[in-house]
Structure 1
Amino acid sequence: MLGISVYLQERIEEEKIRRFYEAGFRSLFTSLHIPEEDASAYRTKLQLLGSIASALEMELIADISTASMEKLDLDWNTAETVLDWGLTGLRIDYGIEDDVIVRLSQKMKVALNASTLTEEQLQRLIEAGLRTTHTEVWHNFYPRPETGLALSDFLAKNLLFQTYGLKVQAFIPGDRNLRGPLHQGLPTLEQHREYGTFAAFTELKAYNVDKVLIGDPDVTDEALMQLKDSSNTITLRAEPYGELTEAHRLLEKGTHNRPDRARDVIRSEESRMSGMFQDVEVLPFNCIKRNKGSVTIDNNLYMRYKGEIQITRSNLPQDDKVNVIGQIVPEDVPLLNYIEGSKHFRNIWV
């Protein structure tokens, strides 16, 4: 499941939420760390967000603490009141008693904090009657660079939680209107701070993460298109070199990697099978060193390979027989790892 984050410090934009809904997003997250002077306004905004979520049949999970409960004129005995506001669950931080968590899990979705939840506590909760079908484990996002999780620790925790039948959630960064005050992205994994939104999503899905939410408030139209099409294709943003040609247009339309996956390059199956370049001169042009993510076409000098379109998986040397016609943007280069044999892919020229 895909989701977005909506922050109550900002204006609630129903149009933006609907934009994500139409792209297949079904989860909303908000944080209820409420300034004392704004408690009433936050409650009104939360109820507005809940009404939008209910109308769209989207889940709405709020990160909440005891202090936030009090500012909403609630306590843990009346927490289920938020269900009447359109919320479907609560993300519960450390410090909440086990019996409260168990009771809430009987009435709503409960998201436990992956950073603080231990196997011992999880076993204790299950023995006390935790409804695991209503329970998920959510990771934090990390605004400060260098503080995000290491991949090895992340995977180990996920394996533990999923062994107990719990779904796992993680955050990825957006690529527009990054949340302040640092504006450095809101990923769970530190390595994703340098990734594009879609590349981070694709990697988390490859690691069997059940639910992926964008931590920042928004993404570009290009990133949203990549996410919307993710079930059918991997869309890569690329900078073209020279004027757009038939090779560029084929990649824009979409093509498949050959089923016999090459080590060093992604090979467009259709570029040669279609015969589209059979009677066309492909003169040598821009025969430069091929950095990882170079988009290339074999020219006349490669004889029967003339017209084969490739994307390089690694740095390759200059070759007079190979024209470099574009370059995948750095944020999308990690996606090359996930274009397996026979996988459909396409380029957006930016």
Structure 2
Amino acid sequence: VIDINPTLFKKLGISYDDLKFFKDLGVWGLRLDEGFSGIEEAKMTRNPYHLKIEINMSTGSHYLDNIMTYDPDTNNLLGCHNFYPQRYTGLSDENFIKYSKIFYNYNIHSAAFVSSNNATFGPWPINEGLPTLEEDRFKRIEVQVQHLKFVNAVDDIIIGNAYASEEELITASKAFYSNYPVLEIEFLKDITDFEKKIIEDNVHLYRGDASEYLLRDTLMRVKYHEKSIPPKKYAGRFFSEGDVLIANDDYSRYKGEVQIVKKKIENDGRRNLIGSLTNESKKLLKYVHPWSSFIISQVSGEK
């Protein structure tokens, strides 16, 4: 996909109605970053070569609305966010979702960028990562991918810089193709094999009648109702945001229920502390919505 602008069309003597020049170059698509009025983009999407016309999703303007008034062929129209080489210039989550929603509402295929921490090459002589989201800069690549999956605002994820390591490609791929978003947990050392089985061997479902304090998966108490979960002593008076709990034998019919703390609660002894979500996964909790499914898995690299 190559970047083009109106000046390039004039210099090459190319009409918006005939993109054969670009077809002959062997490109797959054209990215239009600036300077077009809307009608030119719509014309280009109707090219007979099925070249994809990609537009910038990160402008926060009514650019797409304008193009749509000229009846483009949406099969050939794509949206892709910018990447941001300069630190502190990437998009916030709020703006990312806001801008992406415009494309989602028109059912336009979309993409955003994550960044390799192994890469040394980008479009500019700067090596500060190439993500779309500023919050993801310098994070592990699988964490960046999970973030975009939880936000659920784009279809494709692109690694912006070169070259990702083999390990990064594997972990990013696993994160992207996982059937469910993954929250990472750091287990306590005294966790039992059965408690770990409850957490890691199941897909968890966020109960629909959401509490302000707890994310509850009640399916586990049904599945393991015949099993014993002895209470464990925990010195702390309170459980904090991101703590992962399992209701123990002392909680009667709630025994086996998996809970994630959203807001500090008192420890009355009827819940066993299993571990805590990583700081990155704690931030993803706001994107786990009632009736959504997810996986809880041990932090990558831990044993």
- Matched residues in 2 for 1:323 and 1:334: separation? 23
Matched, 1:329 2:278: yes
Q: 1:293·1:327 contact (CA, 8 Å) conserved in 2?
A: yes
- Matched residues in 2 for 1:150 and 1:211: separation? 18
2:230 to 281, 285, 294: 281
Q: Which residue of 2 aligns with 1:50?
A: none
Match of 2:265, SS state, is coil
Q: Which residue of 2 aligns with 1:30?
A: none
Q: Residue type of the partner of 2:52? A: K
Task: For residue 273 of structure 1, report the CA deviation from its aligned partner.
Answer: 1.2
Q: Which residue of 2 aligns with 1:55?
A: none
Q: Which residue of 2 aligns with 1:249?
A: 197
More helix by share: 1
**Counterpart mapping for 1:1-350 below 5 A:** 61-64=1-4, 76=14, 80-83=20-23, 86-95=26-35, 101=41, 104-107=44-47, 108-115=51-58, 119=62, 123=66, 127=70, 130-151=72-93, 153-158=95-100, 160=102, 165=106, 167=108, 169-174=110-115, 176-177=117-118, 181-187=126-132, 189-193=133-137, 196-205=143-152, 207=153, 209-217=154-162, 218=164, 219=168, 221-230=170-179, 233-244=180-191, 245-257=193-205, 259-263=207-211, 264-275=213-224, 278-285=227-234, 287=236, 289-350=238-299
Q: Which residue of 2 aligns with 1:33?
A: none
- Matched residues in 2 for 1:125 and 1:240: separation? 50
Q: Which residue of 2 aligns with 1:21?
A: none
Match of 2:66, SS state, is helix
Match of 1:346, SS state, is strand
Q: Taking every aligned residue pair, what percent have the same amino acid on both sides?
A: 23
Q: 1:282·1:307 contact (CA, 8 Å) conserved in 2?
A: no
Task: For residue 100 of structure 1, report the CA deviation from its aligned partner.
Answer: 6.2
Q: Provide the aligned length of Structure 1 versus Structure 2.
A: 281
Q: 1:261·1:341 contact (CA, 8 Å) conserved in 2?
A: yes
Task: For residue 91 of structure 1, report the CA deviation from its aligned partner.
Answer: 0.8
Task: For residue 110 of structure 1, report the CA deviation from its aligned partner.
Answer: 0.7
- Matched residues in 2 for 1:301 and 1:124: separation? 62
Task: For residue 228 of structure 1, report the CA deviation from its aligned partner.
Answer: 0.7
Match of 1:110, SS state, is strand
- Matched residues in 1 for 2:60 and 2:216: separation? 45
Q: 2:182·2:297 contact (CA, 8 Å) conserved in 1?
A: yes
TM-score with structure 1 length normalisation? 0.63
- Matched residues in 1 for 2:107 and 2:210: separation? 37
Q: 1:104·1:110 contact (CA, 8 Å) conserved in 2?
A: yes
| Greater CA drift, 302-311 or 328-337 | 302-311
- Matched residues in 2 for 1:124 and 1:262: separation? 40
Task: For residue 241 of structure 1, report the CA deviation from its aligned partner.
Answer: 0.9
Task: For residue 251 of structure 1, report the CA deviation from its aligned partner.
Answer: 1.7
- Matched residues in 2 for 1:335 and 1:202: separation? 10
**1:199 and 1:339, CA in 2 relative to 1: closer, same or farther beyond 3 A?**
same
Match of 1:336, SS state, is helix
Alignment RMSD: 4.0
User: Which consecutive unaligned segments of at least 5 residues does structure 2 have?
Assistant: none
